[in-house]
Amino acid sequence: MATSNTDTSNARKKEVKKETRLGLTYKKDKDFGEWYSEVCVAGEMIEYYDISGCYILRPWTMAIWETLQAFFDAEIKKMNVKNVYFPLFVTENVLQKEKDHIEGFAPEVAWVTKSGQSEMEIPIAIRPTSETVMYPYYSKWIRGHRDLPLKLNQWCNVVRWEFSHPTPFIRSREFLWQEGHTAFATQDEADQEVLEILELYRRIYEEFLAIPVIKGKKSELEKFAGGFYTTSVEAFIPNTGRGIQGATSHCLGQNFAKMFEINFENEKGEKAMVWQNSWAYSTRTIGVMVMVHGDDKGLVLPPKVASVQVIVIPVPYKDADTQAIFDACRSTVDTLCKAGFRAEVDLRDNYSPGWKYSHWEMKGVPLRIEIGPKDLANKQVRVVCRDNGAKMDIPMHSLVEQVKEILSNIQESLFNAAKQKREACVKVINTWDEFIAALNNKKLILAPWCDEEDVEKDVKARTKGEHGAAKTLCTPFDQPRLPEGTLCFASGKPAKKWTYWGRSY
């Protein structure tokens, strides 16, 4: 008896706790890693799963992914890129065709070895990326200069069986991405496209996700395995002092063309090799957004990508005309939806308004509208901004214009706040001691560098520790002036450029 009583009361307590426990256990500034995992789950972005490093992407996430997809897909179609789908499965011999390339990926490959009950004669790999799957076909499809440029893209999943600490969105064993693969007759065309795509990636981060990024070029050590040069957009996470590669646009040069015999007959009738690019961004973008904007109350979604931009909550005090309030809520949502906003109402009767506030704050909805008896009487609504908690009353008749303005302000101020935080972390240094001090202070370090591979390796070796080694993030296209005689912070040789350094994800 006693036991069963305790069980029931425990169960009840658990039930109650489940409904009321809305706050986050961890603080962003104190336990960033734990906070991040918790906010991803509590914000209903992701669900953990029995297989480590694999996550379920819930509707709240997919809506954001779809918004980014719609933007990017339309933009590349304007550039005359066509979508295709190449198979998930790769044979070993194809996978190993490009040696440098495969050295980079081989340790992370997942292998299918059985079909049904039988062992396969040759194991089959699951794509970690599709260069080697696609390029034999480029070799087949490209014959003459009229077949160029060939510009293809695919939206798909890829698998990289990494063993380092998996993190939702940021490092997962399966993720969603787009991978563009293009071939041109000339290097000029390839170079130009690399930058056009990089600009689209910048816009994804800055215009949609409200995250400032730095455009630049990767060092020889950090570039794509088998490529010619790599450009990237780099974001920064102030809390951990780590850089994070946001998306990459690679010029592959003619290296793959050589390996895969992607030749064409040029206008003079001579045989030539194509110039290739590949470029990708993934669901990682969403993780960066969570890290940059989230706070101790949960997610903070930029209005442009939020699947719900405005949540309307009725606040029926005792003895109030509940029906009239509910009707006002519904008509407010109608008005907003008709005006093109993504608005929803939460009419659930088993939760208090206070619980709902916390719930939608946790999910990061940019704007909350509260409607109570007083608002009804005054023909107004109370709005509360998720990003700074600002409250104001706005008259019903100017609802649409004001909501529009407020949302666009939120989008802008999220970006500005993120930019300010990042700027505050940038540290320009000139010496090794300054470098180490800045690194320990979680800074985004801008340093004069001699651009030698051995020096970067040496810096990596010298900074190796429990938090991981420092490396180059990128050499920004936007270069500050480099005074004559400036020396490399690490080698003391003449510096050639300013480069961002730091620890990274």
Partner 1 sequence: MGALRLPSLALLFSPSKALRSSSASRPLRLRPPVIRKVSASLSGGASRALSTQSLANEEATPPSAADRKPSSGPEGSVTPRSVDFNAWYLDVIASAELADYGPVRGTMVIRPYGYAIWESIQEYLNSKFKETGHSNMYFPQFIPYSFIEKEASHVEGFSPELALVTIGGGKELEEKLVVRPTSETIVNHMFTQWIQSYRDLPLMINQWANVTRWEMRTKPFVRTLEFLWQEGHTAHATLEEAEKEALQMIDVYRKFAYEQAAIPVIAGRKSRAETFAGATQTYTIEAMMGDRKALQAGTSHNLGQNFSRAFGTQFTDENGQRQHVWQTSWAVSTRFIGGIIMTHGDDAGLMLPPRIAPIQVIIVPIWKTADERTEVLNAAASLERTLRAAGIKVKVDDSEQRTPGWKFNFWEMKGVPLRIEVGPRDIGNRSVVVCRRDIPGKPGKDFGISMEPSKLESHVKSRLEDIQASLLQRAISFRDGNIVDVNSYEELKAVIGQGKWARGPWSAGDNEELKVKEETGATIRCFPFEQPLGKKTCFMTGNPADEVAIFAKSY
Catalog residues that contact partner 1 under the rule CB under 8 A.
Answer: 18, 47, 49-51, 54-59, 61-63, 66, 82-94, 106-117, 122-124, 126, 133, 136-137, 139-141, 143-144, 146-147, 152, 156-157, 159, 161-163, 173-174, 176, 261, 265, 348, 350
Report the SS3 class of residue 229.
strand
Q: How far is the CB of 115 from partner 1 (least distance, A)?
A: 4
The nearest distance, CB 73 to partner 1, in angstroms, is 9
State the nearest-atom distance from the C-beta of 431 to partner 1, in Å.
40
For partner 1, which is the closer residue by CB, 198 or 289? Answer: 289
* First and final C-alpha spacing in the chain: 54
- CB-wise, 73 or 207, nearer to partner 1? 73
Q: Identify which of residues 269 and 389 has a Cβ nearer to partner 1 in the complex.
A: 269
Angle between helices 32-42 and 284-293 (to 10 degrees): 110
Closer Cβ to partner 1, 88 or 221, answer by number: 88
The type of residue at 170 is: I
Closer to partner 1 by Cβ: residue 255 or 491 = 255
Is the bond preceding 149 in cis, omega lying within 30 degrees of 0?
yes
Residues 6+ positions from 4 with CB-CB distance below 8 Å: none
Closest CA to 44 of 57, 63, 31: 57
Q: Which residues are bridge partners to 472 per DSSP?
A: 501
Q: In angstroms, what is the minimal distance from the CB of 224 to partner 1?
A: 20
Shortest Å, Cβ 159 to partner 1: 7
Q: Which is nearer to partner 1, 320 or 347 (CB)?
A: 347
Q: How near is the Cβ of 162 to partner 1 at its closest, in Å?
A: 7
With vertex at residue 152, the alpha carbon angle to CA 248 and CA 219, rounded to the nearest 5 degrees, is 20
How far is residue 87's CA from residue 134's CA, in Å, rounded to a whole number?
9
Spatial neighbors of 73 by CB under 8 A, at least 6 apart, are: 83, 155, 178
What does the alpha-carbon distance between residue 505 and residue 486 come to, in Å, rounded to a whole number?
A: 30
In the complex, the smallest distance separating the C-beta of residue 50 from partner 1, rounded to whole angstroms, is 5
Taking the complex as a whole, the smallest distance from the CB of residue 138 to partner 1 amounts, in Å, to 9
Q: DSSP states of 135-168 as a string?
A: HHHHHHH--BGGG--EEEEEEEEEE----S--BT
Smaller CB separation from partner 1, 106 or 392: 106
- Please identify, using beta-carbon distances, which residue of 152 and 244 lies nearer to partner 1: 152
Residue type, 492: G
User: CB 341 → partner 1: shortest distance, Å?
Assistant: 16
> Position of tokens 């690679």?
250
Contact 84, 179 (CB under 8 A): no
Contacts 24+ apart (CB under 8 A), 191-196: 191/251, 193/79, 193/151, 193/277, 194/231, 194/249, 194/250, 194/251, 194/277, 194/279, 195/231, 195/249, 196/79
Task: Taking the CA atoms of 147, 151, 154 and 160 in sequence, report the sign of the dihedral they define.
Answer: positive
Minimum gap (Å) between residue 105 Cβ and partner 1: 11
CB nearer to partner 1: pick between 13 and 348: 348
Judged by CB, which is closer to partner 1: 61, or 411? 61
Between residues 168 and 448, which has the closer beta carbon with respect to partner 1?
168
The residues, ordered by sequence, that sit 6+ positions from 144 with a Cβ below 8 Å of its Cβ are 264, 265
Residue of 382, 212, 209, 234 whose CA lies nearest to 300: 209
Q: 162 or 451: whose CB is closer to partner 1? A: 162
How far apart are the C-alpha atoms of 181 and 224, rounded to whole Å? 14
CB of 131: closest distance to partner 1 in angstroms? 13
DSSP secondary structure code for residue 81 in this structure: -
Q: In angstroms, give the least distance from the CB of 34 to partner 1.
A: 20
When the beta carbons of 56 and 392 are compared against partner 1, the nearer one is 56
Q: Are 266 and 185 in contact (CB under 8 A)?
A: yes
d(CA 68, CA 246) in angstroms, rounded, equals: 14
User: CB of 116: closest distance to partner 1 in angstroms?
Assistant: 4
Indicate left, alpha or beta for 10 from its phi (over 0: left) and psi (-120 to 50: alpha): alpha
Calculate ∠ Cα 141-147-150, nearest 5°.
80
